[in-house]
Amino acid sequence: MDAPIGPAGYPPPTLIRKRSGLRRVRTVILLLTVLLVLLIYAISQFMVAEEAPAPAPAAPVAVDATGAGDADSNAAALPDTAAGQDMIVEQPIDPATPAPPTPDARQPNRWYYVNALGDGPGVIYSRTGGQWNFAFACTTRTRAIEFIAVGTGAPGDFDKQAIRVGKVKLMMDASYSQDGGGTIISVLPATHAFFNALDGTKPMEIQLHATRKTIVPIGPAVIRLIKTCRGGS
């Protein structure tokens, strides 16, 4: 049995192997291989980027020098239609067409009598059964009837607003407001001859814009309002 190396009671020494030259060579080869792979990958990506077609140039955008087309502009202040367009005629909704549900269950293409619209009774009309579009409001104190159109948009420079009923044509002395998406109002005495034409036999042809007309039938509620505002029972 060999005698222990070193003083008695000390543990034997730990032997550390010397690194051979072969392991160093293997490590260097591995590092070179990794670098070569990274270099090849970088070159391939660069070649793909060079071969990719350049994006097509964006179409030029016309700049509105007046600022009327800015996103912050009031839509009601913009012209409603461009000049030279054909006349658009909005016909009444077909009663057979299902109407979207509304909170107050209004039906499309119908006048509704209301006891209070401003300073007196009135009638309101909705083309679709939802938001009302036209109204007649009676001012009981002065016996005047006010025609109201809402959501009209801006009429631009068009100033020949009119309502035609058969052969009767009323050229309105109308005022415009941006409220409610555009509101056009005209007031007449309840005794005006125009209201005699609203007997239900012919619809109204309302023109508030140069290139758009709306056909609106006359219902019993309108006849009732005219009679009430004139002082009848």
CATH dotted code for 80-229: 2.60.40
Separation of alpha carbons 98 and 45, rounded Å? 60
Judge if pTM exceeds 0.85. no
Q: How many residues are given for the chain?
A: 233
| pLDDT tens digits, one per residue of 131-177 | 899 999 999 999 999 999 999 999 988 999 999 999 999 999 999 99
Decide if 95 contacts 129 (C-beta within 8 A).
Answer: no
The label of the residue with tokens 């070569």 reads 36
In 3D space, the residue among 125, 192, 201 whose CA is nearest the CA of residue 165 turns out to be: 201
Percent of the chain clearing pLDDT 90 (strictly above)? 48
Decide: helix, strand or coil at residue 185: strand
| Residue boundaries of the structural domains of the chain | 80-229
pLDDT tier at 85, thresholds 50, 70, 90? low
Q: What is the maximal distance between C-alpha atoms in the chain?
A: 141
| pLDDT tens digits, one per residue of 9-35 | 444 444 444 455 666 667 777 777 777
| pLDDT tens digits, one per residue of 180-221 | 899 999 999 999 999 999 999 999 999 999 999 999 999 999
Separation of alpha carbons 45 and 28, rounded Å? 26
In 3D space, the residue among 194, 119, 207 whose CA is nearest the CA of residue 160 turns out to be: 207
pLDDT tier at 3, thresholds 50, 70, 90? low
